[in-house]
Amino acid sequence: MNFKSDQEPRSWHRAARLLAPYVLPYRCRIGSAMVCLLIAVALRIVEPLPLQFILDRVLAEQLSGNAATNEPDAIAILTVCAIAVVLIACVRAIVEYLRVVTFAWIGNRVVTQLRRDVFQHLQSLSLSFHNRARSGDLTIRLVGDLNMIRDVAVTALLPMLASVLILTGMSAVMLWMHVWLGMLAISVFPLFWLSATKSSRKIHTAAKQQRSREGALAATANESLSSVKVVQALSLEHHFADKFGAHSQKSMREGVKTSRLSAALERKVDVMIAIASALVLWQGARYVMAGELTIGGLVVFLAYLKRGFKPLQDFAKYTGRLSKALAAADRVLEILETSPDVRDSPNAVDAPAFEGKIQFRNVTFGYRADTPIFKNVSFTIAPGEIVAIVGPSGVGKSTLLSLICRLHDPDGGTILVDGHDIRDWTVTSLRRQQSIVMQDNAVFATTVRENIAIADADATDAEVEAAALTASAHEFITALPDGYNTLLGERGANLSRGQTQRLAIARATIQSPPIFLVDEPTTGLDEQNERMVVEGILRASEGRTTLIVTHQMEIATHADKVFVLHQGEIIEIGSHDELMGKEGVYATMYRNQQQGRSKLEYALQQ
């Protein structure tokens, strides 16, 4: 990937825009930290002065034999100067401590709030974004990139701010002490600026590529570990190891490149500083011999020179880390600048309590503009009705449920609940009155009780158990080692698929929502688990508007209505008995499935 020459300045601007809203609330603390910083810089400037006083007023006079003070007074002056050095160092240590702690406090809070907002924004992004993104890379952005921004801000950016003030102060003092020596000392600044600007752009480009490689590395690791059963079953360990190793090698190369560029910049700065120091020493010694400068003045000037050039060395040292932080900020901003496809309209309000009437009016939708899945679909579902949606695979049965709960918005037409366009309501208030059981349901790494009550934090133990009884889940839950307090593995590793589905039904019904959506609940289940899941769904659907997407025609027999979806249109609507009497597509699908089951049962009996 190629980056324009203005990439780094633009990155600084983007990073500032990212952090400004989070930093501004702490401006009082930042102000106090800046006061500490200014005090520390001032103390660094006056720190060498006792040395100059001793050299010029005590040692030089004593060595020349023209001492204006006797030995006891000289000892007293030495003592006072020594105490002054210690006091200056102690006060500077205190204010530096306060500065570092304050900036660290601010940095941690800023990143904590930023991480929460980024995570919340990630969760609000549409499915189209998550279908394209890789979860491992998003995790790196959410954790690794934000941690890098915090660490670099506290350990590099803020020290560099102090270094800039020190450089400014030391340069002013050197010019005040001796104009020509001062100009000689700062003559290397333009060379440093040119070298640093050129190198830092290359370092930033390499750092951004390295962060991208690390994201791909994490995505590959997450992909392999989340499917470790399949990986092991198909002996794909070497395939993923090679893929992981390839990404690791690319990341290593970019890391080495960044280190090489940073090291080269540091060595260039060292050479420039050495040349400037040699020139100052050579010219300064001549000024001392000519009587234009004292020995103490030259020693202190060299001390200021050393401390004044320290920020240049720091900048060279921190350039690599700053570039990585800028790259991390770019990656975080890429998330925050992504807008969800589905979001609240400006005039959206909270939805009232639903009765459950659902209408589609000429709804058209497609994941791609040139390939619609639905074309002018219209239907009405009365409150409390159970509707089964059947049809061949890939015709958009599950997509229809996604439209009702606004995981997607239609390209044309209107979806109404209780006679109102669902886009007139906030997404949160709409989804709060719906529950959904998906084909692949999430089981969280917590207790059974918390998995069921996760959508209703105020649910009592009795309500949790009632939901489990409704979903035909109470029996298997009580058989677990710790019952409702059993800790479940990640993604429900210690549950069967049927148990997972029943747990999801219990979770979906605990809030008693007026609209109940079910997507292929019996896929991959044996007959016993299928029967228990269906029983749970039928109990959970009592008194609720229920839509069940299914390939099992037997489930459709329990529905008040059946919608047959085919090639983007609903071609048949009616009850099971009505559609069987029409001898149409539904009747053919039902009989074919029943005959298939009969043949399988006969074969098993034989």
Q: Stretch 422-427: mean pLDDT, rounded?
A: 90
Q: Which residues of 180-216 are buried (b: 16+ CB within 10 A; e: fewer)?
A: ebbebbbebeeebeebbeebbbbbbbbbbbbbbbbbb
Q: Stretch 380-399: mean pLDDT, rounded?
A: 87
Contact 200/327 with Cβ under 8 angstroms? no
Alpha-carbon distance of 509 to 464, in angstroms, equals 10
Q: Which residue has the higher pLDDT, 357 or 310?
A: 357
Return the number of other C-beta atoms located less than 10 Å from residue 73's C-beta: 12
Could you tell me the pLDDT band of residue 4, with boundaries at 50, 70 and 90?
very low
pLDDT tens by residue, 255-308: 777 778 777 777 777 788 788 888 888 888 888 888 787 777 777 778 777 777
Topology annotation, domain 440-512: Rossmann fold (3.40.50)
Q: Is the pLDDT of residue 165 over 50?
A: yes
Q: Stretch 497-509: mean pLDDT, rounded?
A: 83
Q: Stretch 569-582: mean pLDDT, rounded?
A: 88
Percentage of the chain beyond pLDDT 70 is 86
Q: Is the pLDDT of residue 421 over 80?
A: yes
Q: Is the pLDDT of residue 158 over 70?
A: no
Q: Is the pLDDT of residue 68 over 60?
A: no
Percentage of the chain beyond pLDDT 90 is 5
Q: Stretch 416-435: mean pLDDT, rounded?
A: 89
Structure tokens at 250: 């690319």
Could you tell me the pLDDT band of residue 414, with boundaries at 50, 70 and 90?
very high
Contact 394/452 with Cβ under 8 angstroms? no
Q: Which residues of 460-477 are buried (b: 16+ CB within 10 A; e: fewer)?
A: eeebbbbbbebbbbbebb
Structure tokens at 93: 């240590």
Q: Which of 83-97, 311-325, 454-468 has the highest mean pLDDT?
A: 83-97
Contact 323/380 with Cβ under 8 angstroms? no
Could you tell me the pLDDT band of residue 1, with boundaries at 50, 70 and 90?
very low
Q: Which residue has the higher pLDDT, 3 or 58?
A: 58
Alpha-carbon distance of 508 to 401, in angstroms, equals 15
pLDDT tens by residue, 535-564: 888 888 888 899 998 888 888 888 899 998
Contact 463/515 with Cβ under 8 angstroms? no
Q: Is the pLDDT of residue 65 over 60?
A: no
In the chain, which residues fall in CATH 1.20.1560.10? 19-336
Q: Is the pLDDT of residue 603 over 50?
A: no
Q: Is the pLDDT of residue 160 over 80?
A: no
Q: Stretch 133-140: mean pLDDT, rounded?
A: 77
pLDDT tens by residue, 7-35: 455 566 767 777 778 888 888 888 888 88
Q: Stretch 147-162: mean pLDDT, rounded?
A: 70
pLDDT tens by residue, 369-385: 778 888 888 899 999 99
- Supply the CATH classification number for the domain 351-433+515-575: 3.40.50.300
Nearest to 547 by CA among 374, 342, 316, 387: 387
Q: Stretch 594-606: mean pLDDT, rounded?
A: 53
- Residue 368 CB-density burial (10 A; 0-12 exposed, 13-18 middle, 19+ buried): exposed
pLDDT at 604: 43
CATH architecture of 19-336: Up-down Bundle (1.20)
pLDDT tens by residue, 532-541: 878 888 888 8
Return the number of other C-beta atoms located less than 10 Å from residue 254's C-beta: 20
In the chain, which residues fall in CATH 3.40.50.300? 351-433+515-575, 440-512
pLDDT at 94: 92
Q: Is the pLDDT of residue 399 over 50?
A: yes
Nearest to 427 by CA among 397, 401, 407: 407
Alpha-carbon distance of 34 to 39, in angstroms, equals 9
